[in-house]
Structure 1
Amino acid sequence: MSRTDILAATRAAGAPIEQVVAVFMLHPETFAESVAAGYENPFAGYVAGRGGVLGEATGVAVSSVFVVFEPEALRGLWEEGVAVRGAAEAAKLYWEQAAGFGRRYLAGAQGLDRLAELGEKVIAATPGAGLPLYAGWRTMPLADDAPARAMQVMFVLRELRAGVHFNVLNNSGISAIEAHMLNKGQEYATLFGWPEPFPDGADKAERYGEVEEATNRRMTEILSAVLDGDEAAELAGLSAGALDSLKAAVPE
């Protein structure tokens, strides 16, 4: 398999992994679990949960790691969230929530053991330098059962790609709000706490495409360091299958 083929497989794996984890993060059931755990604002549960692996950091530090959130909004959510049960316990709860979501909605997917195996090879071989959220999550203990473990592995792989992407984006001259508008638009800009008016970043569209390509090239280097071409394609296929199965199983 050529380098071009591995690049294509890397792209093909990244999208479904991102979507599977996004479904978990944004699903009403996940928010309801956070509320039941004591977070009056479920977004505070999300921020404390996802960022909890950073430890008892300041809101300013955490907002710099999350990158694409409006900094003051993110700081407020972090401070509200860690006040409930601290950082480490928030991360542990969120990890358990991810496992439970996988058990409920990934159980029908094929090849989950293999998906986890391939993903774990990548995680074990990829250090966390410059990738703080990924560095924290890669040390968390994985569940034993295949649906939960596959969900958690995809969670870590998503943090890996996000960290790589944020590093490229930060050096591109494209602001976080411009990146939102060039990617998923106003809905996500609002969701991530940015106030109107939104700069559309239209003059940087070509540069944003270059950011995506640089992200994919770096992820290709990461995957190809430990997976051969067939394994990379297998990871992409299994991830796509997991997404299809999840979509079929998750209630609207």
Structure 2
Amino acid sequence: MSVGATVNAHIQQLGGGFMFSREARQYAAETGVDEFFGPYTRGRGGVLGDVDAGVVTAAFGFFPENSIRTAWESVPMPAVEAAHRYALACQDFGRRKLRSLEEASRLAELLEVVVAAADPAGLPLFAGWRAVPLPGDAPGRVSQLTHVLRELRGGLHLIAVRAAGITPLQAVLISGSPLNDGPGQARWYGWPEPFEEITDDIRGAWERAESITDDLIAPAFGALGERAGAELVRLVAAAHSATFAR
């Protein structure tokens, strides 16, 4: 299994964990919107600038436009400011969770190599988040870099899903999330019911999309080389344990 595929689950959780954190709730309170999707959409998509919600829908990929439009337009904070505050929430989450990680500086170095090596073509959210300045401290850098890599994987997966011939909704219905099964996740995103039945052919196409995503992301992680790649796998696992230890 490639390095990118090996660390995928941990990167997804590390890069997205701050979205449900006390730091993210503080940011949300500053927007004046007392719900999740508005501040989330404005913060995550803020790197795109003050664009029409249709542009944000296209970049996010797996959400229906009515949900994104309602969320995007519900937050009066300018997009650039929302992205900045969202980045600070991400950094502060890392400072709180990873302050005891002894090799945080080395992990940040390795993650930066991968981020720098990735081709941003067709990946507006990844490109936008890669352009956000990194903080000087290692825990904050690790948290932000894992978020950037999460956007890399997400953007590549959207491309792979379309290449495999399935719709974003079908992909959501199959994959779900750590918090919801597929239909539950689709409902939470705002997709209208009833949902179609997922056939073996659709599921097979989604599995091809997963494989395509692994292939597309492999060159970025390949920039590390074998020894540094193995080191990254070890350090990402350590960061995950530090972040989510009970």
Cα distance change of structure 1 residues 94 and 29 upon mapping to structure 2, 3 Å threshold: closer
TM-superposed deviation, 1:182 = 0.9
Which of 186, 191, 208 aligns to 1:210? It is 208
Match for residue 38 of structure 1? 32
Give how far 1:28 is off. Answer: 5.5
Q: CA deviation at 1:178?
A: 1.1
Q: Does 1:124 align with 2:122?
A: no
- Mapping of residues 4-19 of structure 1, within 5 Å: 7=2, 9-19=3-13
**Which residue identity lines up with residue 209 of structure 2 in the other structure?**
V
Runs (4+) of structure 1 exceeding 4 A deviation are none
| Cα displacement string for residues 143-171 of structure 1 (whole angstroms, at most 9, x for unaligned residues) | 11111110001111111111111111122
Residues in 2 aligned to 1:200 and 1:67: alpha-carbon distance in whole angstroms: 21
Matched with 1:192 is 189
- TM-score, structure 1 length as denominator? 0.90
Contact kept? 1:44, 1:78, Cα under 8 Å: yes
For the residues of structure 2 that align with 1:110 and 1:187, how far apart are their CA atoms? 38
**1:101 shift after superposition:** 0.7
The whole-number CA distance in structure 2 between the counterparts of 1:170 and 1:181 is: 15
Cα distance in 1 for partners of 2:102, 2:6 equals 17
Distance, in Å, in 2 between the alignment partners of 1:28 and 1:89 is 19
Following superposition, the deviation at residue 35 of structure 1 comes to 1.9
Q: Which residue of 1 aligns with 2:144?
A: 152
Q: Which residue is 1:242 aligned to?
A: 239
Quote how far apart the aligned CAs of 1:12 are. Answer: 1.5
| Structure 1 runs not aligned, ≥5 long | none
Give the letter aligned to residue 217 of structure 1: D
Q: Distance in 2 between the 1:195 and 1:105 partners?
A: 37
Between 168-177 and 133-142, report the one with greater CA deviation: 168-177
More deviation, 23-32/173-182 = 23-32
1:134 equivalent in structure 2: 126
User: Residue 225 of structure 2 corresponds to which residue in structure 1?
Assistant: 228
Structure 1 position 48 matched with structure 2 position 36:
no
Question: What pairs with 1:17-96 in structure 2 (closer than 5 Å)?
Answer: 17-27=11-21, 29-81=23-75, 84-96=76-88
- The Cα offsets for residues 57-110 of structure 1, whole Å up to 9 and x where unpaired, read as 1001110110001111111111112xx211100100000010111111122234
Residues in 1 aligned to 2:30 and 2:4: alpha-carbon distance in whole angstroms: 37
1:115 aligns with 2:140: no
Cα gap change, 1:201/1:27 in structure 2, threshold over 3 Å: closer, same or farther? farther
Q: What SS does structure 1 have at the residue aligned with 2:32?
A: coil
Please identify, of 144-153 and 233-242, the stretch whose mean Cα deviation from structure 2 is larger. Answer: 233-242
Q: Report the CA distance between 1:222 and its aligned residue.
A: 2.3
8 Å CA contact 1:116, 1:150 repeated in 2? yes
CA RMSD of aligned residues (A): 1.6
Post-superposition shift, 1:131? 0.5
Letter in 2 for 1:70: P
Shift of 1:174: 1.1
> 1:13·1:237 contact (CA, 8 Å) conserved in 2?
no
- Whether the 8 Å CA contact 1:21–1:154 is kept in 2: the answer is yes
Identity of aligned residues (%): 36
Counterparts of 2:87 and 2:27, CA distance in 1: 12
